[in-house]
A and B are shown apart, each in its own frame.
Chain A
Amino acid sequence: MARDTQAALVALNRFGFGARGGASGDLINASSDPRGFVKAELARPNGVLLEAPGLQSTPQLGQAVFAYQDQVKQAREAAKEIASEMAEAKPADKTARPDAMQPNAATPPAAKPSGQPLNVIQKTFRAEALARLQRATLTECGFTERLVAFWSNHFCISAGKGELVRIWAGAFEREAIRPHVLGRFADMLKAVEQHPAMLFFLDNQQSLGPDSRAGQNRKRGLNENLAREIMELHTLGVGGGYTQGDVTSLARIITGWTFAGRKGQLGPPGSFVFNVNAHQPGPQALLGKTYEAAGLAQGEAALADLARHPSTANFIAAKFVRHFVADDPPPALVVRLRDAFVKTDGDLKVMATTLVDSDEAWKAPLTKMRSPYDFLVASGRLLARVPEDPSRYLNGLNLLGQPLWSPPGPNGFPDTNAAWAAPEGIKLRLDIAAQIGARLGNNIDPLDLLEFAAADAASIETRKTIERAESRQQALALLLMSPEMQRR
């Protein structure tokens, strides 16, 4: 069979996480059947799921946070008691170091001594990150993992919101995103909007129907944050045809969507519950349709209609093509994906297949910049290093402006070259590449790696630059920074 290395680069870089080094044979396999190489992963829907020893469910993790917070509180109270007893015992003791009594005075809050043991939240976040990174490093093409990352960013939460979101960030992706990446959009939407991490991230657990029993008793009411972002960012897109009135209506419709708290009055702590006492009673009009009072089913019906709305199909198709193909997505391809989305009632596997089957996705030049996450994962794959500790990756992502599961806002990380090819970002990538080169360069043959990564599709200039490098270390840094590794 004819080999097409250029098409193999599209298969591996545009759709996947790049070729793996070692004995993987990725580039050769991809060049004999580029489309088949990408689509092979779509045939294994269970392969999207992520299970690893020790990873726990959202309610289990919620309970772990509650227990941890109780412990911290008790420890603080115990310390206070001891301190006051000591103060009584030695009222005149001035020899005690004064700074010891004021731990916050000189130590900035983020400056955790590296020797201090990690708490359950930090441990969980790192375990979830490690499982995701290992999967991305080991998987064949990486197309389904790229799809997971795309949808996870589309429906993003941010660990910066607080301890609960931080501990739930990985579970959210495993439970609400992964099962539906090759399934139906409507199912993913429902799973996301009912996930405790999202309800907490966008404040819906605090939102009360003004006329609900809880709203009346507590004199509190609506918070429209989640309702707005559902329409603006998750489904219709801004300009998708909704009004302020629709935002308020949807906010009322999803009042009562919350999760059980530490006391577990509504259900197992940390699990999604519909709290009828917080739900705004009565029918609601949304986008010209009336949704009768039906408790939880009222909101589920509204979400189902939003998933099916023509604006949603447009918005999703354009964003999908922009992510995989070009900052300015080819309009005909967007239309084809939109039609596939509409015709199949949001079958995301069909949409992904339509993209891979298109000509445009294979003909468009590889001009998109790899995001920091893609760059670090692709480097690890090429070097055939399965991470055993997520620290380097997490630090690198922080430095490059894409901290894992912590985007700056509910619109997620940007997805365009303007964001990732900025001067400061490129310089920092070079610094990181130089560090990797310094650490691993003496164990590898840079020209072998170039064969794994691009073979005869590599430019003459890249090849010469690597051949002429003054050291293996420098050669590796230059290879990682070459256009062949940076563009997809």
Chain B
Amino acid sequence: MLYGNELLKEIQAEDFAVYEAALYLDAHPNCEKALAYYREHKCAVKKLKEKYEELYGPLTIYSSADCDSWQWVNGPWPWEKEAN
């Protein structure tokens, strides 16, 4: 199975930006700059994840039943070298 390593790295980078902004916003909920940064990266990661799931399979159980079989159980799993 071909795993989307490069696309996955892009998702990890964008997801990191979203999570980092969220942590910062917990402490600074009215920071307009952080809110704009959060929105920008949230939008980017959504598009990347849709593309990834279409090509390589589900990232969560909520996107696993689009095919004839249950793809969720297909490896490699995230801790395997081949998945990174």
Do A and B actually bind? no
A residues sitting closer than 8 Å to B (CB atoms) are none
B residues sitting closer than 8 Å to A (CB atoms) are none
